[in-house]
Structure 1
Amino acid sequence: MKLPLIAAAACALALGGCSTVTSLFEGSSIAAAQPSQIADAEKALSIAHLAYQAVGNTLANAAASGLLEGADAAKAQALYDKAGAALDAADKADDAANAPGVLAAVADAQTAIAAIDSLIPKH
């Protein structure tokens, strides 16, 4: 009965000298290693969500006032949907503590938001 316990202890001691195994137990996860990157990504994500809401309000106002019609309105709606999908992906990456994934998806959303803004006439 004690043999499996002794074997497990011997195996643990043998693996203790292996650098790849010890590094896994030293808190070297992405979240622990780069908390500032995750915090920065979350800030960028929050700002992108605010920009998305703002451009949504601007789109609604431009459409209601007749400033945005036809093909430009359809293109703006498609870009708005694309930005929303990118923010959904960024939220999922944030849930997984994947800072590079958050930043990449936020960049996609920001590109779509900027394209929407360029379609809306400024008066």
Structure 2
Amino acid sequence: MLKRFPVKYIRDYIKKKYKKNDKCFICNLTDTLEFHHLFSVSELFNSWCIKNNIKNITTVEEIKKYREQFELDNLWELSNENALTLCKQHHERLHNIFGQRYANSMVPKVKNWVRIQKEKIQ
């Protein structure tokens, strides 16, 4: 029996591969750094389960069986290229503008916003 939502096990599995930078991508601040996934792992996993006709995951053994394939099928979306290190202020601003959970279809707009914020500071 799972004690948490299946996607939590997925996140735990993939997060060890991420490299957090030592400064904010936007402002270069080195304090209060947070990690931001451009693509929602939850949305990716839900779509992947539908595509693969996986309806109900009830055990840790099942999630372990699926997580490697999920990662392989979503390598680009889960890559460091699609993750940012942001200071707390910029991370909160991003979510205030786009929502705590935005759709993966919004990623190009989020990337554009990040680029504009960075240009404003330079």
TM-score interval for Structure 1 and Structure 2 normalised by the shorter chain: under 0.3
**Higher relative contact order, chain-length normalized (CA < 8 Å, sep 6+):** 2
TM-score (ref. length: structure 2): 0.27
TM-score (ref. length: structure 1): 0.27
- Rg: which structure is higher? 1
Write 1 or 2 for the structure with the bigger share of strand. 2
Write 1 or 2 for the structure with the bigger share of helix. 1
